[in-house]
Amino acid sequence: MFGPGYSLGDVEVVYRGWAENAFAGRIVGITENFVYPVLALVPIVSAFAFGGTVYLATWFAVVTALNAGAFVVLVRSHRAVAWWWLAFLVLLGPIALARIDAITVPLCIVALLWLRRRPFWGTALLTIATWIKIWPVAALAALFVASKRRWRMVGVAAVVTAAVVAVAGALSLSRGSGIHVLSFVAEQAGRGIQIESPVAVPWLWQTALGVPGSFIYYDHEILTFQVAGAGTTTVSALMTPLLALAALAVLLLGIRAQRRGAGTFAVLPPLTLALTATLIAVNKVGSPQFISWLAAPIILGIAVNGRTWRIPALLGLTLAALTQLVYPYLYDGVLRANPVMVLVLTVRNLLEFVLLGWALLALYRLTPARGEPVSADRNQHFTNHHL
């Protein structure tokens, strides 16, 4: 659990600090701006239930309980997928437990598996997860494209969102502060290029090779390591619109597949994976826990399609292992721009694009004749009648 990257730092320092402040009346997302969507407060404050001295242990208990619940759901119908997920968590290492993302991943896994038999509950759970950390919006967007009952799903998501905004807004007003429930959007806007993002690779290599003007620095305001050098300001400004355009292109490919007659559960797994991989690969923000997001769409894909998803399954495990190699144990080498560690990070980031390319190709190849999942006849849990 320990290493130069201090993988427990967010929980022990940042999250516990927010929880302590909340009990003192200074509540992020309510009385002041928050870097995360407001429902992230729920697990962060809950872990303070037994006090600050055991905050880390309580956090691990909460995460373990959520993972255990998702594991039970998987074991009941997809035992092999459950073991894949355990292997993924082990390979990813401490970061799989010590970030707010560890709350959202099991929620997203269960939500995606529920979409067949409990579509409204699955949609509601995806929306709740999105209000904890924004990345599950990829699954919601994929569901909107793939589902034949998309407007009902939008209605469910809208009701949950309205409830969250109304309650958070009312709490803010009751405490005499402005409304901060959407502050997480602005908080993300000023970020530079983080060192683990794929777009940072050219400047990491320049730093490793001693190119003047290129270096790694720590941003004390947002608590991340970023790259500096010629062109970083311009590229950083371009990355957000580029990410939006890339996501739009992926959605259009999903719409193409859906309009050609591909079934809901033929479109949903590769589209969710493609959108999630896009959020990771085409992003100036890059953190090791982002790799954990891939578990949910890969698990859905394996559950629906079985062995035909062995390539993304293997890529996911490889990405997890390379991520743990980078963070936390050998993170000092990354911060010093050691060429070997920069090479490892480069390979890891290239594999993100390989996974994205696989998902896009799978989406492109969907046809009416091949619209049903390969395992549809064998797997009664995933058919297209309800979505």
pLDDT band for 375, please (50, 70, 90 cuts): very low
Q: Give residue 222's pLDDT.
A: 79
Mean of the pLDDT values across residues 73-89? 93
Domains identified in the chain, total number: 1
Q: Note down the domain range covering 186.
A: 9-364
Q: Is residue 322 part of a domain?
A: yes
Q: Is residue 370 part of a domain?
A: no
Mean of the pLDDT values across residues 377-383? 45
pLDDT at 187 over 80: no
Predicted TM-score (pTM) of this structure: 0.93
Q: Is residue 384 part of a domain?
A: no
Q: Is residue 169 part of a domain?
A: yes
No. of helices (H) and no. of strands (E), the chain: 17, 2
Burial 331-351 (b: 16+ CB within 10 A, else e): bebbeebeeebbebbbebbeb
- Could you read off the pLDDT of 290-318 as tens digits, one per residue? 999 999 999 999 999 999 999 999 999 99
Mean of the pLDDT values across residues 178-207? 87
Spatial separation of the C-alpha atoms in residues 189 and 246, rounded to whole Å: 18
- Could you read off the pLDDT of 316-325 as tens digits, one per residue? 999 999 999 9
Average pLDDT over the chain, rounded to an integer: 91
Q: Give residue 3's pLDDT.
A: 59
Radius of gyration of the chain measured on its C-alpha atoms? 21
Q: For residue 202, give the 3-state DSSP assignment.
A: helix
Q: Is residue 357 part of a domain?
A: yes
pLDDT band for 8, please (50, 70, 90 cuts): confident
| CB half-sphere exposure, 346, CA atoms < 13 A | 14
pLDDT at 2 over 60: no
| CB half-sphere exposure, 306, CA atoms < 13 A | 11
Q: Give residue 379's pLDDT.
A: 46
pLDDT at 372 over 70: no
Q: Give residue 189's pLDDT.
A: 64
Q: For residue 28, give the 3-state DSSP assignment.
A: strand
Q: Give residue 144's pLDDT.
A: 95
- Could you read off the pLDDT of 141-184 as tens digits, one per residue? 999 999 988 899 999 999 999 999 999 999 988 887 778 888 88
Q: Give residue 318's pLDDT.
A: 98
Q: Is residue 193 part of a domain?
A: yes
Spatial separation of the C-alpha atoms in residues 174 and 24, rounded to whole Å: 16
Spatial separation of the C-alpha atoms in residues 220 and 224, rounded to whole Å: 7
Contact between 309 and 302 under an 8 Å Cβ cutoff? The reply is yes
pLDDT at 5 over 80: no
Q: Is residue 118 part of a domain?
A: yes
Q: Is residue 131 part of a domain?
A: yes
